[in-house]
Amino acid sequence: METSKQSVTRSLSVTDWLRENILSGALGPGERLQEVRLSEHLGVSRTPVRAALHSLAAAGLVDYAPNRGYMVRDFPIPEMIDAYEIRGALEGLAARFAAERGLTRDQETALEAALAKGDKALAEAALLGPDFMVQFRDVNVVIHDTVLEAARNRMLAEMIRISYEKPRVSNRIIVTLEIRELERRHEEHHRIYEAIMARDPVRAENIMREHVAGVKLAMVRSLRAKSAQSGQTAPA
Amino acid sequence: METSKQSVTRSLSVTDWLRENILSGALGPGERLQEVRLSEHLGVSRTPVRAALHSLAAAGLVDYAPNRGYMVRDFPIPEMIDAYEIRGALEGLAARFAAERGLTRDQETALEAALAKGDKALAEAALLGPDFMVQFRDVNVVIHDTVLEAARNRMLAEMIRISYEKPRVSNRIIVTLEIRELERRHEEHHRIYEAIMARDPVRAENIMREHVAGVKLAMVRSLRAKSAQSGQTAPA
DNA sequence: TTGTCGTTGAATGTATACAAAACAGGTTGA
DNA sequence: TCAACCTGTTTTGTATACATTCAACGACAA
């Protein structure tokens, strides 16, 4: 197995390996995932490979046809852009639930710490250098995960996780690089926190939805930049 | 196999069998799903049973713990009520996409036919008898499925399907029995269709979301009625 | 050339034997 | 009495042999 960490079972290891390779793009859309080939490549039998493929098919990362096997699913750009709308609707709902149900002491502390860390990172952006992006990414993850936890709904959490686990849609990735954008984004984090603390569900939902819409726009811009770039080298 | 229709593979048959029995409540929350027991009961080997359990775990119907197996997941009433909010958010999005992207000729025809059938069924409710509910259910399914199809987004479709495939949350079930409710519900169907035809995404989304919220309220009422009922026989 | 049909091969579907891990019970020690 | 541990049993995890299905290829006839 080429992954560093070993999961409890081989099936889970293979699942992780496949997921990572699909999300990173190492396994491209349309690529057939044949059981024997994979099992030889990974040094396990067909059984855990089959289990992993089953899981990924249910998670929507690979397509399955009876008696024909699995292939990496196609993720059209328009659908990935839509995915941000879906994320926005779901995370908006999470913010609403959080505002309705309130935060635990720990969640409140975690959010405040994350907000403060973000403020600090933005203030020191210049001297932090490459570490800055790492820190800001962590802040982002903590804030969104905590709001989701505060929503207290397993099904919602699973759906948001599914919407994350697609190429190019993770909140683990900060698309934009402009500091101005990040400042606005973090300002929104503050406002989401305030709305939840004020127990204002409607406002919490609206801000969160707008927040994700902002991320979507940044991603669309970055995609356009990329396609313009590749357009120069390969116009077809 | 006790199910009537045979799927292409045994794995799929077992998956269907398990899903149906969980959704119907024949397999209750917490019930352990042991591979050998199931395979003997269904007359197949452990392999297809394992495959089915894997799929259902990914679909969120059963819980899995490594080396400990599977059990039917718990579906707390509050989470099932939340599920309607999730459905509302997602179906609202679908209506918005449909309004943005427009209907094909076929979709338009299908919606108009379903609306007319619903009108007719409501008008003749008294003399249709038990057939009435069946017809109205069909109308409901066609309308929601067609809007979803018009949204042209596979990921959204899959998520809505997942939110349906929980006990008590299907649009295949009409909770309310009051004709007045159904008339209002169907009136909303008309308005959703109009908003989509008018290419008004915001309005389409809002109406659809309200529409699902109405279904949620009817379901909450019906749950309260049921718990009051069972409360008489078993107050604890 | 084109269409149909049968063969062939490669892939998935299934069953089953064996390995490893978790649970339950009793035993032994303090 | 209680706790820790050892051990048999049960259950899941894995490997592999065999069955089945599908798709591609080529032969043959129109």
The pair of three-digit structure tokens given for residue A183, joined into one six-digit string:
């400042």
Q: Is A44 on the interface with B (CB under 8 A)?
A: no
B63 touches chain A (CB under 8 A): no
Q: How far apart are CA A95 and CA A97, in angstroms?
A: 5
**B206 and chain A in contact, CB less than 8 A:** no
d(CA A2, CA A34): 18
What are phi and psi for residue B74, nearest 5 degrees?
Answer: -85, 135
DSSP, collapsed to helix, strand or coil, labels residue B163 as helix
Give A181-220 pLDDT, tens digit per residue.
Answer: 889 999 999 999 999 999 999 999 999 999 999 989 988 8
Residue A52: closest C-alpha in chain B: B54
Q: What per-residue confidence (pLDDT) applies to B67?
A: 93
Task: Give the sign of the dihedral formed by CA B200, CA B202, CA B207, CA B209.
Answer: positive
User: Between chain A and chain B, how many beta carbons pairs sit less than 8 Å apart?
Assistant: 79
Q: Which domains does chain A have, with CATH numbers?
A: 10-72 (1.10.10.10), 77-233 (1.20.120.530)
Task: Indicate yes or no: CB of B159 within 8 angstroms of CB of A154.
Answer: no
Q: In what order do the strands lie in the sheet with B62-65?
A: B32-33, B69-72, B62-65
Provide the shortest C-alpha distance from residue B68 to chain A (in Å). 12
Q: Where are the alpha helices (DSSP H) in chain B?
A: 10-23, 35-42, 46-59, 77-101, 105-123, 125-128, 131-151, 154-164, 179-197, 201-233
Asked if strand C contacts A36 at the CB level, meaning under 7 A, the answer is: yes
Q: Average pLDDT by consecutive 10-residue portion of chain B (236 residues)?
A: 59 95 92 95 95 93 94 93 95 98 97 96 81 88 97 96 81 66 93 98 97 90 72 46
Low-confidence ranges of chain A (pLDDT < 50): 1-5, 233-236
State the pLDDT at residue A10.
94
Residues whose beta carbon sits under 7 Å from strand D:
A 9-11, 44-48, 51, 66-68; B 8, 32-36, 46-47, 50, 66-70
pLDDT confidence of residue B236: 38
Say whether residue B157 is in contact with chain A using an 8 A CB cutoff: no
CA-to-C1' distance for A236 and C1, Å? Answer: 35
Could you check: is the Cβ of residue B211 within 7 Å of any atom of nucleic acid strand C? no
pLDDT for B74 equals 93
Nearest CA in chain A to B154: A79
CA-based end-to-end distance of chain B = 38
The closest nt to B65, taking CA to C1', is D12
Which chain B residues are Cβ-neighbours of A67 within 8 angstroms? 8-9
